[in-house]
Amino acid sequence: MAVGDFLNFHRRSPPITYTEEERKIFASSYVIGGWVIGFGLIGLLIIAVWSYGIVPVAAAGGSSAFSAFFGADLLVAAAAAAAGALFGFIFGIPRTLDPASRAAVASAASQAGPAAASHAILSANTNLERISDWLTTLLIGATLVQIKDIVSWIGSLGGKLVTNGALTNDTMVPVIVVYFFALSFLGIYLMTRLYLTFAFRQTLAILAGSGGASPNLSDLIQKLDAALKLGTPGALNEAVATYSTWTFGSGEKDDPRVNASLGRVLAKLIASGQAVGSQSDHAAALKEAISKAATDPTLKAQLKAEATTTGQLATGNKSLDSEIATVLS
Protein backbone atom coordinates (compact mmCIF):
# COMPACT_ATOMS: atom_id res chain seq x y z
CA MET A 1 0.00 0.00 0.00
CA ALA A 2 1.40 3.38 -0.98
CA VAL A 3 1.87 6.11 1.58
CA GLY A 4 -0.89 8.17 -0.01
CA ASP A 5 -3.33 5.25 0.09
CA PHE A 6 -2.40 4.61 3.71
CA LEU A 7 -3.09 8.22 4.69
CA ASN A 8 -6.34 8.33 2.72
CA PHE A 9 -7.50 5.11 4.39
CA HIS A 10 -7.00 6.63 7.83
CA ARG A 11 -8.67 9.89 6.83
CA ARG A 12 -11.74 7.94 5.70
CA SER A 13 -11.80 5.73 8.78
CA PRO A 14 -14.50 6.66 11.31
CA PRO A 15 -13.29 7.91 14.68
CA ILE A 16 -12.67 5.35 17.41
CA THR A 17 -15.59 5.14 19.80
CA TYR A 18 -15.57 3.71 23.30
CA THR A 19 -18.25 1.78 25.11
CA GLU A 20 -19.69 2.93 28.41
CA GLU A 21 -17.73 0.14 30.11
CA GLU A 22 -14.45 1.36 28.59
CA ARG A 23 -15.12 4.94 29.63
CA LYS A 24 -15.72 3.80 33.22
CA ILE A 25 -12.38 1.98 33.18
CA PHE A 26 -10.62 5.08 31.83
CA ALA A 27 -12.23 7.27 34.49
CA SER A 28 -11.25 4.88 37.28
CA SER A 29 -7.71 4.66 35.92
CA TYR A 30 -7.37 8.45 35.87
CA VAL A 31 -8.44 8.62 39.51
CA ILE A 32 -6.02 5.89 40.54
CA GLY A 33 -3.20 7.39 38.50
CA GLY A 34 -3.84 10.82 39.96
CA TRP A 35 -3.65 9.57 43.55
CA VAL A 36 -0.49 7.52 42.86
CA ILE A 37 1.25 10.44 41.18
CA GLY A 38 0.14 12.80 43.95
CA PHE A 39 1.49 10.62 46.73
CA GLY A 40 4.64 9.99 44.68
CA LEU A 41 5.29 13.74 44.42
CA ILE A 42 4.70 14.12 48.15
CA GLY A 43 7.27 11.39 48.74
CA LEU A 44 9.81 13.11 46.49
CA LEU A 45 9.24 16.41 48.31
CA ILE A 46 9.85 14.72 51.65
CA ILE A 47 13.06 13.16 50.31
CA ALA A 48 14.27 16.57 49.14
CA VAL A 49 13.49 18.18 52.51
CA TRP A 50 15.18 15.34 54.37
CA SER A 51 18.27 15.42 52.18
CA TYR A 52 18.58 19.16 52.61
CA GLY A 53 18.00 19.01 56.37
CA ILE A 54 20.67 16.44 57.17
CA VAL A 55 23.39 18.23 55.24
CA PRO A 56 25.27 21.07 56.98
CA VAL A 57 24.57 23.69 54.36
CA ALA A 58 27.03 26.15 55.85
CA ALA A 59 29.88 23.62 55.72
CA ALA A 60 32.17 23.45 52.74
CA GLY A 61 30.93 21.07 50.13
CA GLY A 62 27.42 21.07 51.54
CA SER A 63 25.78 21.37 48.14
CA SER A 64 27.61 18.34 46.78
CA ALA A 65 26.68 16.35 49.89
CA PHE A 66 23.03 17.29 49.36
CA SER A 67 23.25 16.06 45.77
CA ALA A 68 24.72 12.77 46.96
CA PHE A 69 22.02 12.19 49.54
CA PHE A 70 19.19 13.30 47.28
CA GLY A 71 20.42 11.36 44.25
CA ALA A 72 20.94 8.18 46.27
CA ASP A 73 17.48 8.44 47.81
CA LEU A 74 15.91 9.00 44.41
CA LEU A 75 17.67 5.89 43.13
CA VAL A 76 16.31 3.87 46.06
CA ALA A 77 12.80 5.27 45.45
CA ALA A 78 12.96 4.38 41.75
CA ALA A 79 14.18 0.85 42.52
CA ALA A 80 11.48 0.32 45.14
CA ALA A 81 8.80 1.64 42.77
CA ALA A 82 10.02 -0.65 39.97
CA ALA A 83 9.94 -3.66 42.28
CA GLY A 84 6.49 -2.71 43.53
CA ALA A 85 5.23 -2.30 39.97
CA LEU A 86 6.52 -5.74 39.03
CA PHE A 87 4.90 -7.41 42.02
CA GLY A 88 1.70 -5.44 41.50
CA PHE A 89 1.53 -6.65 37.91
CA ILE A 90 2.17 -10.27 38.91
CA PHE A 91 -0.47 -10.21 41.62
CA GLY A 92 -2.94 -8.40 39.36
CA ILE A 93 -2.95 -10.87 36.46
CA PRO A 94 -6.53 -12.14 36.10
CA ARG A 95 -7.35 -15.83 36.19
CA THR A 96 -9.56 -17.86 33.92
CA LEU A 97 -11.76 -20.62 35.25
CA ASP A 98 -10.88 -24.27 34.77
CA PRO A 99 -13.29 -26.28 32.56
CA ALA A 100 -15.33 -27.65 35.46
CA SER A 101 -15.73 -24.23 37.05
CA ARG A 102 -16.51 -22.62 33.68
CA ALA A 103 -19.27 -25.16 33.09
CA ALA A 104 -20.80 -24.44 36.49
CA VAL A 105 -20.57 -20.68 36.06
CA ALA A 106 -21.88 -20.85 32.50
CA SER A 107 -24.90 -22.79 33.69
CA ALA A 108 -25.64 -20.16 36.33
CA ALA A 109 -24.84 -17.25 33.99
CA SER A 110 -27.15 -18.58 31.30
CA GLN A 111 -30.05 -17.33 33.39
CA ALA A 112 -28.73 -13.80 32.84
CA GLY A 113 -28.70 -14.24 29.08
CA PRO A 114 -26.36 -15.53 26.34
CA ALA A 115 -23.89 -12.65 26.73
CA ALA A 116 -23.11 -13.55 30.34
CA ALA A 117 -22.82 -17.25 29.52
CA SER A 118 -20.45 -16.64 26.62
CA HIS A 119 -17.92 -14.93 28.89
CA ALA A 120 -17.95 -17.86 31.30
CA ILE A 121 -17.06 -20.56 28.75
CA LEU A 122 -14.20 -18.76 26.98
CA SER A 123 -10.82 -20.45 27.31
CA ALA A 124 -7.36 -18.89 27.50
CA ASN A 125 -3.68 -19.75 27.55
CA THR A 126 -2.95 -19.91 31.27
CA ASN A 127 0.87 -20.00 31.21
CA LEU A 128 1.16 -16.45 32.53
CA GLU A 129 -1.46 -17.13 35.16
CA ARG A 130 0.41 -20.23 36.37
CA ILE A 131 3.58 -18.18 36.74
CA SER A 132 1.58 -15.65 38.72
CA ASP A 133 0.24 -18.41 40.99
CA TRP A 134 3.68 -19.95 41.51
CA LEU A 135 5.31 -16.62 42.33
CA THR A 136 2.48 -15.61 44.63
CA THR A 137 2.73 -18.86 46.59
CA LEU A 138 6.51 -18.70 46.68
CA LEU A 139 6.62 -15.07 47.81
CA ILE A 140 4.04 -15.53 50.55
CA GLY A 141 5.75 -18.70 51.84
CA ALA A 142 9.22 -17.17 51.77
CA THR A 143 7.98 -13.99 53.45
CA LEU A 144 6.35 -15.87 56.30
CA VAL A 145 9.43 -18.03 56.89
CA GLN A 146 12.00 -15.24 56.57
CA ILE A 147 10.00 -12.36 58.02
CA LYS A 148 12.60 -11.52 60.70
CA ASP A 149 15.48 -11.55 58.22
CA ILE A 150 13.50 -9.42 55.74
CA VAL A 151 12.74 -6.80 58.39
CA SER A 152 16.41 -6.75 59.39
CA TRP A 153 17.53 -6.50 55.77
CA ILE A 154 15.19 -3.59 55.01
CA GLY A 155 16.38 -1.80 58.15
CA SER A 156 20.02 -2.14 57.06
CA LEU A 157 19.51 -0.99 53.47
CA GLY A 158 20.69 2.56 54.13
CA GLY A 159 23.59 1.64 56.40
CA LYS A 160 26.35 2.09 53.86
CA LEU A 161 24.50 3.88 51.10
CA VAL A 162 25.67 7.41 51.88
CA THR A 163 27.94 8.46 54.72
CA ASN A 164 29.15 11.95 55.46
CA GLY A 165 31.02 11.96 58.74
CA ALA A 166 28.48 11.45 61.51
CA LEU A 167 25.52 11.91 59.16
CA THR A 168 24.07 8.77 57.60
CA ASN A 169 21.03 7.91 55.56
CA ASP A 170 20.18 4.80 57.59
CA THR A 171 16.87 6.08 58.91
CA MET A 172 15.38 7.33 55.66
CA VAL A 173 16.14 4.52 53.22
CA PRO A 174 13.84 1.88 54.80
CA VAL A 175 11.01 4.42 54.82
CA ILE A 176 11.61 5.22 51.15
CA VAL A 177 11.65 1.54 50.23
CA VAL A 178 8.40 0.75 52.04
CA TYR A 179 6.63 3.92 50.89
CA PHE A 180 7.40 3.72 47.18
CA PHE A 181 7.13 -0.07 47.01
CA ALA A 182 3.65 -0.01 48.56
CA LEU A 183 2.53 2.96 46.47
CA SER A 184 3.72 1.46 43.20
CA PHE A 185 2.41 -1.99 44.07
CA LEU A 186 -1.08 -0.70 44.83
CA GLY A 187 -1.27 1.53 41.77
CA ILE A 188 -0.03 -1.05 39.27
CA TYR A 189 -2.11 -3.81 40.85
CA LEU A 190 -5.31 -1.79 40.44
CA MET A 191 -4.37 -0.74 36.91
CA THR A 192 -3.64 -4.34 35.98
CA ARG A 193 -6.93 -5.53 37.40
CA LEU A 194 -8.80 -2.85 35.47
CA TYR A 195 -7.06 -3.01 32.10
CA LEU A 196 -5.75 -6.56 31.83
CA THR A 197 -9.00 -8.20 32.89
CA PHE A 198 -10.93 -6.16 30.34
CA ALA A 199 -8.28 -6.76 27.63
CA PHE A 200 -8.30 -10.52 28.28
CA ARG A 201 -12.07 -10.62 27.98
CA GLN A 202 -12.02 -8.59 24.77
CA THR A 203 -9.31 -10.75 23.22
CA LEU A 204 -10.98 -14.00 24.19
CA ALA A 205 -14.27 -12.77 22.75
CA ILE A 206 -12.55 -11.89 19.46
CA LEU A 207 -10.85 -15.31 19.30
CA ALA A 208 -14.19 -16.94 20.04
CA GLY A 209 -15.64 -15.16 17.03
CA SER A 210 -17.90 -12.63 18.71
CA GLY A 211 -15.84 -9.68 17.47
CA GLY A 212 -15.28 -8.12 20.87
CA ALA A 213 -17.14 -7.76 24.11
CA SER A 214 -20.70 -8.94 24.03
CA PRO A 215 -22.58 -6.48 21.82
CA ASN A 216 -25.19 -4.40 23.54
CA LEU A 217 -27.47 -1.57 22.61
CA SER A 218 -25.10 1.04 24.04
CA ASP A 219 -22.39 -0.11 21.61
CA LEU A 220 -24.76 0.17 18.67
CA ILE A 221 -26.05 3.57 19.73
CA GLN A 222 -22.49 4.85 20.07
CA LYS A 223 -21.64 3.60 16.58
CA LEU A 224 -24.70 5.29 15.10
CA ASP A 225 -24.06 8.55 16.96
CA ALA A 226 -20.38 8.55 15.97
CA ALA A 227 -21.31 8.15 12.30
CA LEU A 228 -23.88 10.95 12.63
CA LYS A 229 -21.27 13.22 14.17
CA LEU A 230 -18.79 12.44 11.40
CA GLY A 231 -21.53 13.08 8.83
CA THR A 232 -19.84 11.65 5.75
CA PRO A 233 -21.90 9.43 3.42
CA GLY A 234 -19.40 6.61 3.86
CA ALA A 235 -19.68 6.67 7.65
CA LEU A 236 -23.49 6.95 7.49
CA ASN A 237 -23.82 4.03 5.06
CA GLU A 238 -21.47 1.97 7.21
CA ALA A 239 -23.56 2.71 10.30
CA VAL A 240 -26.75 1.59 8.54
CA ALA A 241 -24.99 -1.59 7.42
CA THR A 242 -23.85 -2.20 11.00
CA TYR A 243 -27.42 -1.85 12.20
CA SER A 244 -28.65 -4.25 9.50
CA THR A 245 -26.19 -6.98 10.55
CA TRP A 246 -26.50 -6.42 14.31
CA THR A 247 -27.60 -9.33 16.48
CA PHE A 248 -30.52 -8.10 18.57
CA GLY A 249 -31.91 -9.72 21.67
CA SER A 250 -35.58 -10.13 22.36
CA GLY A 251 -37.36 -6.79 21.94
CA GLU A 252 -34.11 -4.84 21.51
CA LYS A 253 -34.86 -3.88 17.92
CA ASP A 254 -37.83 -1.84 19.16
CA ASP A 255 -35.78 0.11 21.70
CA PRO A 256 -36.62 3.84 21.29
CA ARG A 257 -33.01 4.96 21.85
CA VAL A 258 -31.65 2.78 19.06
CA ASN A 259 -34.41 3.84 16.69
CA ALA A 260 -33.90 7.53 17.50
CA SER A 261 -30.21 7.28 16.60
CA LEU A 262 -30.99 5.22 13.50
CA GLY A 263 -33.64 7.71 12.41
CA ARG A 264 -31.19 10.61 12.63
CA VAL A 265 -28.60 8.67 10.61
CA LEU A 266 -31.12 7.69 7.94
CA ALA A 267 -32.47 11.24 7.66
CA LYS A 268 -29.00 12.66 7.13
CA LEU A 269 -28.10 9.88 4.70
CA ILE A 270 -31.25 10.45 2.61
CA ALA A 271 -30.58 14.19 2.61
CA SER A 272 -27.05 13.57 1.30
CA GLY A 273 -28.45 11.73 -1.74
CA GLN A 274 -25.66 9.16 -1.52
CA ALA A 275 -27.42 6.34 0.28
CA VAL A 276 -26.37 2.84 -0.76
CA GLY A 277 -29.47 0.90 -1.79
CA SER A 278 -33.03 1.77 -2.59
CA GLN A 279 -34.22 5.24 -1.61
CA SER A 280 -37.69 3.90 -0.87
CA ASP A 281 -36.26 1.25 1.46
CA HIS A 282 -34.38 3.90 3.40
CA ALA A 283 -37.49 6.07 3.58
CA ALA A 284 -39.55 3.17 4.91
CA ALA A 285 -36.84 2.34 7.45
CA LEU A 286 -36.74 5.98 8.55
CA LYS A 287 -40.49 6.15 9.13
CA GLU A 288 -40.42 2.87 11.04
CA ALA A 289 -37.50 4.03 13.21
CA ILE A 290 -39.20 7.35 14.01
CA SER A 291 -42.44 5.56 14.91
CA LYS A 292 -40.63 3.28 17.36
CA ALA A 293 -38.61 6.13 18.84
CA ALA A 294 -41.79 8.18 19.33
CA THR A 295 -43.03 5.65 21.89
CA ASP A 296 -40.72 7.40 24.35
CA PRO A 297 -42.25 10.82 25.18
CA THR A 298 -38.88 12.46 25.86
CA LEU A 299 -37.32 11.21 22.63
CA LYS A 300 -40.48 12.13 20.74
CA ALA A 301 -40.21 15.73 21.94
CA GLN A 302 -36.53 15.87 20.96
CA LEU A 303 -37.17 14.44 17.50
CA LYS A 304 -40.12 16.77 16.98
CA ALA A 305 -37.90 19.76 17.71
CA GLU A 306 -35.26 18.41 15.33
CA ALA A 307 -37.88 17.92 12.61
CA THR A 308 -39.71 21.23 12.96
CA THR A 309 -37.22 23.66 14.49
CA THR A 310 -33.59 22.76 13.89
CA GLY A 311 -34.10 20.84 10.67
CA GLN A 312 -31.80 18.01 11.75
CA LEU A 313 -34.34 15.43 10.60
CA ALA A 314 -35.01 17.15 7.27
CA THR A 315 -34.45 14.78 4.35
CA GLY A 316 -35.06 17.19 1.47
CA ASN A 317 -38.11 15.14 0.47
CA LYS A 318 -41.16 17.23 1.33
CA SER A 319 -43.56 14.29 1.30
CA LEU A 320 -41.32 12.21 3.57
CA ASP A 321 -40.68 15.14 5.89
CA SER A 322 -44.43 15.72 6.16
CA GLU A 323 -45.00 12.07 7.08
CA ILE A 324 -42.34 12.26 9.76
CA ALA A 325 -43.87 15.44 11.17
CA THR A 326 -47.24 13.67 11.30
CA VAL A 327 -45.78 10.74 13.22
CA LEU A 328 -44.19 13.13 15.73
CA SER A 329 -47.22 15.40 16.10
Amino acid at 14: P
Q: Is 0.85 surpassed by the pTM of this model?
A: no
Who's near 226: CB < 8 A, 6+ residues apart?
14, 15, 17, 235, 239
pLDDT per residue over 147-199, tens digit each? 877 777 776 666 655 555 445 566 678 888 889 999 998 888 888 888 777 77
pLDDT per residue over 64-80, tens digit each? 567 777 888 888 899 99
pLDDT tens track, the chain, 329 positions: 454 554 454 455 555 556 666 777 778 888 888 899 999 999 999 888 887 776 654 344 445 567 777 888 888 899 999 988 888 888 777 766 555 555 554 454 444 444 444 444 444 445 556 777 788 888 888 878 888 777 777 766 666 555 554 455 666 788 888 899 999 988 888 888 887 777 776 666 555 544 443 456 788 888 888 888 888 888 888 888 888 887 777 777 888 888 888 888 888 888 888 877 777 788 888 888 888 888 888 888 888 888 887 877 888 888 888 888 888 88
